[in-house]
């Protein structure tokens, strides 16, 4: 999986383009708190992304072309339409987060100790995140959440703050505050 993702990024750079992973819980028992929800979003235009990066890169008709993506990323070190929503979330001990991929590209919802770069060197450079987060370097092969898919985190066990990012698009981030019951 990692090699495939790096190959896709290399292909994107070659054509002039710049273009998971806490363990999931199986289900909630009736006594658990309901999952908090988060949306992984993007607006990739399938025609331009698939032509520039490779078939299957984008699976829906978003409004941002690959050229627009690259231009915005170069100008601002992020692409606003590629985001976690919300970017800040408060949950209770015992609660999980259900991250839904509402975009057209694959994303990860990876807990990291500190925000950093992802697994695509070209995107790390363009986004100003040159150092790959160690958790991204150690991604499980099943960490990618496909468009339309979901990922559910383990239930929070301690009060504090957790950080989540996409290990493909490293500017996609969320800060989760965990409170007591």
How far, in Å, CA of 143 to CA of 19, rounded?
Answer: 19
Q: Report pLDDT for 181.
A: 73
The dihedrals phi and psi of 133, each to the nearest 5 degrees, come to -60, 135
DSSP state of 103: S
Q: Which residues contact 117 (CB under 8 A, 6 or more apart)?
A: 123, 124, 127, 129, 130, 131, 132, 133, 136, 170
> Residue 165: which of 142, 181, 143, 149 has the closest Cα?
143
| Domain with 16 in it | 2-25+32-179
Residue 24, classed as helix, strand or coil, is strand
175, 114 Cβ separation under 8 angstroms: no
Check residue 25 and give its pLDDT: 39
Q: How far apart are the first and last CA of the chain?
A: 38
Give the pLDDT confidence score for residue 31 in this predicted structure: 52
Give the predicted TM-score (pTM) of the model.
0.83
How many domains does the structure of the chain reveal? 1
| Domain at 10, CATH number | 2.60.40.420
* pLDDT, mean of each 10-residue run, the chain (181 residues): 43 33 40 89 98 96 96 98 98 97 98 98 98 96 95 96 98 97 73
* Phi, psi for residue 97 in degrees, rounded to 5: -115, 125
Per-residue confidence (pLDDT) for residue 11, from 0 to 100:
34
């Amino acid at each position: 999986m990692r090699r495939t993702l790096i190959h896709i990024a290399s292909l994107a750079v070659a054509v002039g383009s710049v273009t998971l992973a806490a363990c999931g819980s199986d289900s909630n028992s009736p006594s658990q708190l309901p999952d908090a929800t988060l949306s992984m979003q993007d607006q990739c235009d399938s025609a331009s992304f698939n032509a520039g990066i490779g078939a299957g890169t984008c699976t829906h008709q978003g409004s941002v072309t690959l050229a627009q993506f690259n231009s915005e990323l170069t100008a601002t070190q992020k692409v606003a339409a590629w985001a976690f929503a919300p970017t800040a979330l408060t949950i209770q001990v015992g609660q999980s987060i259900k991250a839904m991929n509402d975009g057209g590209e694959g994303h990860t919802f990876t807990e990291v100790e500190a925000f950093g770069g992802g697994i695509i060197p070209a995107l790390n450079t363009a986004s100003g995140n040159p150092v790959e987060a160690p958790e991204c370097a150690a991604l499980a092969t099943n960490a990618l959440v496909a468009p339309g898919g979901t990922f559910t985190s383990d239930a929070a066990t301690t009060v504090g703050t957790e950080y989540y990012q996409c290990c493909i698009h490293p500017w996609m981030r969320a800060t989760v505050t965990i409170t007591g019951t």
